[in-house]
Amino acid sequence: MTAPHAVAHECLAVLATPPFAERGMLGPSNDTPREVERAPAPPSGASVRLRALAALSGSLTDALHPKEAVDLVEQQALSALGATSAVVVTLGTFPPPLRSVLGAPVMSVGTTLHVVHAIGLPAEVRAALHELPLDAPVPFAEVARTGAPLFLPTEAALRTYPDWGAAMTAAGAGSAAVVPVWANGELRGVLGLAWPEPRTFDEDERAFVLTLGVMCAQAIMRAHLRDTERHAREAAELANRSKAHFVATISHELRTPMNAILGYTALIGDGIYGAVSALQQEHLGRVRASGQHLLGLIEELLGYARIEAGEAVVRPESVGLIAVLEQSLVLVRPLAELKGLRLRVEGPAEPVELYTDPHKLRQILVNLLANAVKFTDQGEVVVLLRVEGRDAAVRLVIEVTDTGCGIPPEVQAHVFDPFWQADPASTHSDGSSGLGLSVARQLARLLGGDVVVARSAPGEGSTFVVSLPAQYPGQPERRAAP
């Protein structure tokens, strides 16, 4: 079986020798005197073929369907060589099925011939070529078995394959070329061309047809892999949408009964249904705290699902930064006091006015502050505010620094991944969902900014930085892309 690199070397060798070199295809010679007002000669056959290869190479870089790529190769072959019919067959079904080798998808090669595309080929000849075994007495099967090209210059040469040759001559063919289609070192199929008259296949024409076979293989592979990638991406997007829809649905279903539990617990605790002892009040307080915690996890899941599904809507309005920050601190301060931590805010004395979504900004701050308090056992959490830039480029920068356990450098890239935990066992102790930082970053990006880890080291605490435009750059009521 002829190796594909041998075909490429043969093509290059032909291009470097007559008639290509004699026709000036390798550039003008310095020894040739310049002729003035000489009429341009018509392009030679070699020039036409080289131009066809250049045009084909450029066209095959476009995003094509596999059969469109094959059609393009066949059209160029017919145009450059004056052939009347062209056909591409592959080994096995088309597109070929994928098998896994060491975790990577690899195209499987079959043992029968299948017609991918044909131009100008009689229907009976095309039907005869479809699903042929490799031992069939036709030139396509022989090329598929040996990997060697066949050039049949006369009707007599065609009739060396009796049934196929008779069908071709009856359809008006006088000569044919059948060449292998290589891809990634394996023979994937066969390209066939036919002419109505006998034909002498010189070296440069043979090299051109062989090159078409190589380009056909590359075009099929690229187009098929692009097609496979598109289908995989669509399947992944559908799976993500289904997951987000499920999470949103189950969150809604959980939130409704949980609100009822909290409501009736509050009524009982307030003595609406009768006197409540101190011990009962203590138990009701634990029920209430656990219910509030569970409701918070449900809200996190629901917020995450909205963002993933592209249903998060930005509703910007004029708001003061300090007001939003105070609302955030009110929610986090009880947990900080319970752990004996100090919350401290540093920033400009003058008011900072923003045009953004205050609810999403508050959620960002609550998530970052809660994360800082959660992983800090002693010391303080400091919020540093500053404004950078001028005019339309003004940005708000918020730093949240804690004196907690810190994050090892090797895992800092994962802290914004949904549901990620540095220590999965910690979920049972701190009750977190692993969504707080992920949701904070996604909301910040929705508002035109971002959240990053500015500094962190084990035992030295962490600093997270939020950067947002002071003026929301998007359109109000605009939904986020999924």
SS (H, E, C) the chain: CCCHHHHHHHHHHHHCCCCCCCCCCCCCCCCCCCCCCCCCCCCCHHHHHHHHHHHHHHHCCCCCCHHHHHHHHHHHHHHHHCCCEEEEEEECCCCCCEEEECCEEEECCCCEEEEEEEECCCHHHHHHHCCEECCCCCHHHHHHHHCCCEEECCHHHHCCCHHHHHHHHHCCCCEEEEEEEEECCEEEEEEEEEECCCCCCCHHHHHHHHHHHHHHHHHHHHHHHHHHHHHHHHHHHHHHHHHHHHHHHHHHHHHHHHHHHHHHHHHHHCCCCCCCCHHHHHHHHHHHHHHHHHHHHHHHHHHHHHHHCCCCECCCEEEEHHHHHHHHHHHHHHHHHHCCCEEEEECCCCCCEEEECHHHHHHHHHHHHHHHHHCCCCCEEEEEEEEECCHHHCEEEEEEEECCCCCCHHHHHHCCCCCCCCCHHHHHHHCCCCCHHHHHHHHHHHCCCEEEEEEEECCCEEEEEEEEECECCCCCCCECCC
Q: What is the per-residue pLDDT for 320?
A: 93
Query: What average pLDDT does this structure show over 71-77?
Result: 76
Q: How confident is the model at residue 424 (pLDDT cuts 50, 70, 90)?
A: low
In this structure, what are the phi and psi dihedrals at residue 173, rounded to the nearest 5 degrees?
A: -80, 140
Q: Give pTM, 2 decimals.
A: 0.49
pLDDT for res 150: 94
Q: pLDDT category, 116, cuts 50, 70, 90? A: confident
| pLDDT over 80 (residue 415) | yes
The residue ranking higher by pLDDT, 481 or 117, is 117
With contact defined as beta carbons under 8 Å apart, do 315 and 476 qualify?
yes
Q: Return the higher-pLDDT residue of 392 and 207.
A: 207
Please give the pLDDT value at position 285: 86
Question: What confidence score (pLDDT) does residue 103 get?
Answer: 43
pLDDT value, residue 249: 76
Q: Over range 254-279, report the average pLDDT.
A: 87
Q: Quote the pLDDT of residue 5.
A: 43
Interval 51-56 mean pLDDT: 59
pLDDT at 19: 40
- List the structure tokens of 106: 């690899």
Q: Does position 16 have pLDDT exceeding 70, yes or no?
A: no
Over residues 402-425, mean pLDDT = 80
- Of 63 and 119, more confident: 119
Rounded Cα–Cα distance for residues 81 and 194 (Å): 10
Q: Confidence band (pLDDT; 50, 70, 90) for 379? A: very high
What local confidence, expressed as pLDDT, does residue 27 receive?
Answer: 41
**Whether residue 79 has pLDDT greater than 80:** no
pLDDT of residue 28: 43
Domains and CATH numbers, the chain: 4-26+43-231 (3.30.450.40), 234-308 (1.10.287), 317-469 (3.30.565.10)
Using CB atoms within 10 Å of the CB of residue 239, give its burial: 0 to 12 exposed, 13 to 18 middle, 19+ buried.
Answer: exposed
112 versus 395: the higher-pLDDT residue is 395
pLDDT score, position 113: 84
pLDDT at 291 over 80: yes
The residue among 80 and 18 whose pLDDT is bigger is 80
140-146 average pLDDT score = 90
**In percent, how much of the chain has pLDDT > 70?**
76
Higher per-residue confidence, 190 vs 69: 190
Name the average pLDDT for the chain.
Answer: 77
Mean pLDDT lowest among 11-15, 114-118, 240-244, 295-299:
11-15
pLDDT surpassing 50 at residue 151: yes
Angle between helical axes of 358-374 and 436-446 (0-180°, round to 10): 150
User: b/e for 87-119, b at 16 or more Cβ within 10 A?
Assistant: bbbbbbebbbeeeeeeeeeebebbebbbbbbbb
> Could you give the percent of the chain with pLDDT greater than 90?
27
pLDDT for residue 422: 62
Span 356-365, average pLDDT: 91
What pLDDT, on the 0 to 100 scale, is given for residue 204?
Answer: 84
Question: Is 98 a residue whose pLDDT tops 80?
Answer: no
The predicted pLDDT at position 319 comes to 93
User: CA 443, CA 313: separation in Å to the nearest integer?
Assistant: 10
Q: Which two tokens stand for residue 363?
A: 């959620």
201-225: per-residue pLDDT in tens? 988 888 888 887 777 777 766 766 7
Taken as a whole, the chain contains a residue count of: 482
Q: Is the pLDDT of residue 481 over 60?
A: no
